[in-house]
Structure 1
Amino acid sequence: MVLSYRLLSTVTKLSLVAGSAYAESEYIWPNAKTDLLESMLYEQQGLGSGNSPATFIVPCEKVNFGTGRNGAAEWLRTAYHDMATADVVAGTGGIDASIGFEVNRDENPGVGFNETLVNLAAFLTPRSSMADLIALGAVFAANGCSNGNVTIPFRAGRVDAKGPGAPGVPKPEQPLDEHITSFQRQGFTPQEMIGLVACGHTLGGVHGVDFPEIVPVVKDPATDQNTQTFDTTNSGMNAFDNTVAVQFVNNVTQNPLAFGHNETTNSDGRIFNSDGGEVIGKMADSPSYFYQTCTTLLERMINTVPKGVTLTDPIQPIAVKPSKLFATINSNGTMTMSGSIRLIGPVTANPNRTVKIHFHPRSGESCTDTNTCTVSSNVASVGSAHVISGNPPLTFWWYQFSTVIPITQGVSGFDVEVVDNNNGVTNSTMYKNGGRGFPFDDMIVTQPKLSCSEIRDDSKLDSLKAIVHVPEPLNSTTPAVGSIPLNFAKVGPVAGSGYTLYNATIVNGVIPADFVNNFAGSYMRTYDLIASNSTHTVEREFNMMDGLNACPDPNIF
């Protein structure tokens, strides 16, 4: 194996600062449970979208799973099949990513599960479980294909299963009473079963290669899935609509599970008629009723989790969000503080907006030197729009900043002031992150210009370690989150700064071969830092490698 590595460099500062506890009566940045998933949920196109599963599926049908295949339908189907093993009375199963262990069961035919899970695995981190990603995929599928008419509130906190769940996904050939029993086990009434099936079958169809007893295989299965769609609106941003209900009620449906040639597998027909056609009739008569029913039932579906799992409140877009914060230590007794501030803004850039960063010194006292305490930015980078929800769509703008600060002053955080000048009228809003400012600890920091991966730490802390997060192959279609420990070597003090530089390397030989072959280059790279001495330990968790200089070898961390 070719030896490849990524150099990690870190500098360290002189003292430890005790943390403070705050009551979370309002959102306080950062939030370990929701920040990453908030970015994935809302930064769907433009800057930042590469770190979201939305890049695969927004707009509708963007992901290509092959001729006759609908990627959004596969993502929605994966979420249901993962949930369908739930027993809500026993408190087992639900959205827990156990589907990765269950893809070879006869109740889960087809390659769509594998492809969906491989897509989502690229975003697996210690703060984005596969179960949360599966639920997020269902949100994107329904929202992106309904032109925003189905907007499902998303909560975080799902936990990945360590093995398969009990069998129990409904099959087309089962009689109605077995379907009713199955959905009741999952927590849905017979009427809700009708709605959930209609919502699930507004996208996609039945693939003859998987169900030849339902759809005849007449085309070459090597190049065509021989798909019969559930209705006639199966593509584009309005594919998720009530046509599946309208065509069933009007007896003009092409749904192979409703009026297919095989009576035994006409499960949709039995389910839709099980209450005399009342629920499916309402869904056919009213698009708004259809959308509201689907929003409610799909939200309950993705929120079905095992006993003991607690989900967060629905994740809302964060008004002011810092990112890529770095403090680079210079050789002249200064540090260069840089980063970006993400703001919610108008669809088009506001040329009369200025963003000011007001730094707090390391001591926490008020900063009085305007030359080193305040930096302004009125240059907005490319915006990122949540293009499928809202009118006008939700849009973000990033404002980048960089300023030189004396090391003796240091940084403990900052406030963000947004100044808008419209028609000669100036409005200024100060954001203080719940009153304490947006925190930044300059004791352990990443040095992005020194090497491929960088970090920093205090000279009173004489040991530095890192934990690099990597996908770890399991006996499953998807990996778990594993880790590679690294010990740093002290290089020496940075002259005149009060900081000490540390280095470490990652060698491919340390990484499991399965990981290198299957996952290298296709996942989000993150790491933790742990600095210590004989009496203290300081940790900086979950640092993104995004923003660091890249090594020449693509297989390097």
Structure 2
Amino acid sequence: MPLIGAFSPRVLFFLANSILVFYLSLVSAYKWPSPQYDPLEETLYQGGTTFTSFFNKEECRKRSSPRTFVAAEWIRLAYHDSATHDITYGTGGLDASIFHELDRPENSGAGMINAISDFKFAPNKYVSRADVIAIGTVFSSATCGGPIIPFRGGRKDAQEAGPSAVPAPSQDLATHIEKFRLQGFTQEEMIGLVACGHTFGSVRSSDFPGLVEGDPNDKSGVGLAFFDRSRRFDNAIATEYLDGTTQNPLVVSPNSRLTSDKRIFGSDGNVTMQRSIPRALHFIIIINESNFYSFESREFFMQTCSRLLARMIDNVPNNVALTEVITLLPAKVTEAYITVVRSQLLFKTTLRLAQPQNTTIPNNRSVKMLWCNKRGEFKDCSGAHINMASRPACGSFPSTTVTRRLGVDLLKYEFAAPILASESVGKFWFELDEGDGSTSTVLDNGGGGYLLETDEIIYVPWFSTARENGEDTQSQAFDLTFVAGIRSELSPTSATLNTYTNSEDGVIGPPQTPVLPLTHYPDRLLVEGYEWYQAPVINKISDGFQFSVDLEVMLADGASHKFDFGQTRSIDGEEGLDTLISEVTVGSGGD
């Protein structure tokens, strides 16, 4: 299938607009909340965690010692995990089975251990370890100048090792071709995927002493032999191979038994590496792009790598259904819940808006949040009773390397609106006015408004506490107390807190999801309309509170109410929220 860059400008314009319409249709189909889409989208585009902000200080970052490329280690880990895919049986693929396979010779090396450690605290309830590995590949390509690889989510983590399937440099060409065939790649695609995977990075003599000689001047004893001279994600791996200047140890090593790249690249007589344009397509090819179908063309190389690396990370077992491509939402509610701060019941929301980088925010821009009461005389905005919060706290979200490559900044508008339990919040929406005479924009979740899922049980992280556990000297454990509120008029038959973590030190099995009872403390004052409940939790995660909590209350009539995916980063954080209190008025809309 001809690639976009090979078409005439008119055809290119048509295709670009078709793709734009396609992605806009995906965004328009989105409805908040989406428990699966939202965390995946935020992990890919919105920084703020150790994993998502990994390349913020230094793009295409290297380790401190030895100076290996982080991104190359992440891509290697992804391929070694994905290599277990078997098209015959529809099994294996990118499923985090690599966590159970590190004792194999094919997965040797400090780079694999480094990558595993980098990903350790990134998974959560809705983003699996396998999804994190896939996102790591997207980040790796983007941060080193490569293509932005389309990402789909929904991978499931394997709980045991997969078959041994990674090709070894010492194996013959026929074995390599067969292994890649089982993974779903043709011989031509094998050549391309190996070139894309080796576009940057190195081989350690400490891992492959028969391939790379140690450097007596290298005090680390690691010994690095790089695949090419560019140190970026580009087609130098191909151009240096074709012009005979390559330093790729898998091509030029004196030990010919281990020169697997040489065998693979030349397996079709170098046709794929220096492919020319088929004569039948000359009539639609731009004249001066005569080498477009060759890896000597940077554009063709990038497009090939985008396609093949996406295929690689999308290789999953047949019983796994991936999402659509996760695209950046131009406007998004990143949080919305009722909570308590300093005996004040608050409706807390954050609206995220995307805008081009280095764009000045209009001085007259105003962002307002509006909502209908859920309860009481004026429920559902009866009598044109509409609440409005104005003057949000303004800021920005940290970016990821993908967001920066897209040229996008993510603005943050935070509201903390005082409310009454007797009125509460039903649906809410936002109005954006640029103050330049243009028509205001209404952000209302596609027309129906954003519906707050529950007010029967609320999460109160700012009354929750974290205290270091002095008895645990092996890890930085904490004694945690989580506080929740349940509406006073309810008579629960049970109330529970479910803590979820997928990142315990040393744990590579199923996610840890202990369920704990919430105890009622009637003598403690939470806020008018809500009763105080709490549960203790011992956190044995050594690098912060990288887990979430779910709350559930069961009633005598069989009804249940849940609060899902409560974040734990704001424990003991009430001092921050009470500075964000919004001005609230009541009117008939945008008045």
TM-score by length of 2: 0.80
SS where residue 50 of structure 1 aligns? Answer: coil
Deviation at 1:266, TM superposition (A): 0.5
Range with greater deviation from structure 2 (254-263 or 425-434): 425-434
Question: Partners of 1:469 and 1:169 in 2: how far apart?
Answer: 33
Question: Partners of 2:186 and 2:104 in 1: how far apart?
Answer: 26
Question: Partners of 2:315 and 2:417 in 1: how far apart?
Answer: 48
What's the Cα RMSD here?
A: 2.6
Structure 2 unmatched ranges of 5 or more: 1-25, 276-293, 466-481, 575-591
Alignment of 1:40 with 2:43, yes or no, is: yes
Q: For residues 94-135 of structure 1, give each alpha carbon's deviation from its aligned partner in whole angstroms, at most 9, with x where no partner exists.
A: 000001111111111102112211211211212111000000
Alignment of 1:328 with 2:358, yes or no, is: no
Deviation at 1:69, TM superposition (A): 1.1
Question: Partners of 2:435 and 2:170 in 1: how far apart?
Answer: 66
Q: For residues 524-549 of structure 1, give each alpha carbon's deviation from its aligned partner in whole angstroms, at most 9, with x where no partner exists.
A: 22011111122222222211113332
Q: For residues 188-232 of structure 1, give each alpha carbon's deviation from its aligned partner in whole angstroms, at most 9, with x where no partner exists.
A: 000000000000001101110000000012247772420100000
Counterpart of 1:131 in structure 2 is 130
| Structure-2 change in CA distance of 1:496 and 1:206 (3 Å) | closer
Range with greater deviation from structure 2 (84-93 or 303-312): 84-93
Residue 470 of structure 1 aligns to which amino acid in structure 2? T
Counterpart of 1:454 in structure 2 is 483
Mapping of residues 178-257 of structure 1, within 5 Å: 178-219=175-216, 223-234=220-231, 239-257=232-250
Q: Contact 1:414 / 1:437 at 8 angstroms: preserved in 2?
A: yes
Counterpart of 1:359 in structure 2 is 371
Residue 429 of structure 1 aligns to which amino acid in structure 2? T
Counterpart of 2:266 in structure 1 is 273
Alignment of 1:345 with 2:355, yes or no, is: yes
Counterpart of 1:413 in structure 2 is 427
SS where residue 51 of structure 1 aligns? Answer: coil
Alignment of 1:429 with 2:441, yes or no, is: yes
Question: Partners of 2:403 and 2:244 in 1: how far apart?
Answer: 33
Alignment of 1:295 with 2:306, yes or no, is: yes
The count of corresponding residues between Structure 1 and Structure 2 is 504
SS where residue 512 of structure 2 aligns? Answer: strand
Counterpart of 1:99 in structure 2 is 98
Question: Partners of 1:165 and 1:495 in 2: how far apart?
Answer: 51
Which residue of 166, 169, 172 corresponds with 1:172? 169
Alignment of 1:444 with 2:442, yes or no, is: no
Question: Partners of 2:79 and 2:419 in 1: how far apart?
Answer: 53
Q: Contact 2:202 / 2:226 at 8 angstroms: preserved in 1?
A: yes
Counterpart of 1:16 in structure 2 is none
| Structure-2 change in CA distance of 1:368 and 1:455 (3 Å) | farther
Question: Partners of 2:188 and 2:98 in 1: how far apart?
Answer: 26
| Structure-2 change in CA distance of 1:479 and 1:86 (3 Å) | same
Q: For residues 473-524 of structure 1, give each alpha carbon's deviation from its aligned partner in whole angstroms, at most 9, with x where no partner exists.
A: 6987x45420222211111285883322112222x3xx6xxxx3xx322462
SS where residue 279 of structure 1 aligns? Answer: coil
SS where residue 482 of structure 1 aligns? Answer: coil
Q: Contact 2:459 / 2:563 at 8 angstroms: preserved in 1?
A: no
| Structure-2 change in CA distance of 1:480 and 1:522 (3 Å) | farther
Question: Partners of 2:177 and 2:518 in 1: how far apart?
Answer: 59
Which residue of 31, 47, 50 corresponds with 2:34? 31
Q: Contact 2:396 / 2:409 at 8 angstroms: preserved in 1?
A: no
Alignment of 1:470 with 2:501, yes or no, is: yes
Question: Partners of 1:131 and 1:304 in 2: how far apart?
Answer: 11
Deviation at 1:461, TM superposition (A): 4.0
Counterpart of 1:528 in structure 2 is 550
Question: Partners of 2:542 and 2:109 in 1: how far apart?
Answer: 26
| Structure-2 change in CA distance of 1:209 and 1:275 (3 Å) | same
Question: Partners of 1:280 and 1:496 in 2: how far apart?
Answer: 69
SS where residue 434 of structure 1 aligns? Answer: helix
Q: Contact 1:421 / 1:427 at 8 angstroms: preserved in 2?
A: no
Question: Partners of 1:468 and 1:445 in 2: how far apart?
Answer: 15
Residue 435 of structure 1 aligns to which amino acid in structure 2? G
Alignment of 1:317 with 2:328, yes or no, is: yes
Residue 486 of structure 1 aligns to which amino acid in structure 2? L
SS where residue 430 of structure 1 aligns? Answer: strand
Counterpart of 2:77 in structure 1 is 78
Residue 315 of structure 2 aligns to which amino acid in structure 1? T
| Structure-2 change in CA distance of 1:367 and 1:78 (3 Å) | farther
| Structure-2 change in CA distance of 1:181 and 1:523 (3 Å) | farther
Deviation at 1:354, TM superposition (A): 1.1
| Structure-2 change in CA distance of 1:392 and 1:227 (3 Å) | closer
Q: Contact 2:463 / 2:571 at 8 angstroms: preserved in 1?
A: no
Counterpart of 2:316 in structure 1 is 305
Counterpart of 1:398 in structure 2 is 412
Counterpart of 1:15 in structure 2 is none
Alignment of 1:541 with 2:541, yes or no, is: no
Residue 429 of structure 2 aligns to which amino acid in structure 1? D
Residue 405 of structure 1 aligns to which amino acid in structure 2? I
Q: Contact 2:403 / 2:409 at 8 angstroms: preserved in 1?
A: no
Mapping of residues 478-489 of structure 1, within 5 Å: 478=508, 480-489=510-519
Counterpart of 1:50 in structure 2 is 48
SS where residue 497 of structure 2 aligns? Answer: strand
| Structure-2 change in CA distance of 1:496 and 1:522 (3 Å) | closer
Deviation at 1:426, TM superposition (A): 3.2
Question: Partners of 2:563 and 2:52 in 1: how far apart?
Answer: 28
Q: For residues 7-41 of structure 1, give each alpha carbon's deviation from its aligned partner in whole angstroms, at most 9, with x where no partner exists.
A: xxxxxxxxxxxxxxxx9971011111121111110
SS where residue 532 of structure 1 aligns? Answer: strand
Structure 1 unmatched ranges of 5 or more: 1-22, 44-48, 552-557
Q: For residues 258-315 of structure 1, give each alpha carbon's deviation from its aligned partner in whole angstroms, at most 9, with x where no partner exists.
A: 1111100010001101111121124432100000000000000000001200000001
Q: Contact 1:152 / 1:295 at 8 angstroms: preserved in 2?
A: yes
Q: Contact 1:467 / 1:484 at 8 angstroms: preserved in 2?
A: yes
Question: Partners of 1:254 and 1:124 in 2: how far apart?
Answer: 37
SS where residue 29 of structure 2 aligns? Answer: coil
Question: Partners of 1:267 and 1:475 in 2: how far apart?
Answer: 35
Question: Partners of 1:69 and 1:415 in 2: how far apart?
Answer: 48
SS where residue 521 of structure 2 aligns? Answer: strand
Residue 213 of structure 1 aligns to which amino acid in structure 2? G
Question: Partners of 2:253 and 2:526 in 1: how far apart?
Answer: 79
| Structure-2 change in CA distance of 1:132 and 1:220 (3 Å) | farther
Question: Partners of 1:265 and 1:179 in 2: how far apart?
Answer: 13
Alignment of 1:143 with 2:142, yes or no, is: yes
Q: Contact 2:141 / 2:147 at 8 angstroms: preserved in 1?
A: yes
| Structure-2 change in CA distance of 1:492 and 1:51 (3 Å) | same
| Structure-2 change in CA distance of 1:63 and 1:465 (3 Å) | farther
Q: Contact 1:157 / 1:312 at 8 angstroms: preserved in 2?
A: yes
Residue 70 of structure 1 aligns to which amino acid in structure 2? F
| Structure-2 change in CA distance of 1:544 and 1:474 (3 Å) | closer
Residue 107 of structure 1 aligns to which amino acid in structure 2? E
Deviation at 1:331, TM superposition (A): 9.3
Question: Partners of 1:542 and 1:155 in 2: how far apart?
Answer: 21
Identical pairs, percent:
31
Question: Partners of 1:119 and 1:265 in 2: how far apart?
Answer: 30
Q: Contact 2:337 / 2:349 at 8 angstroms: preserved in 1?
A: yes
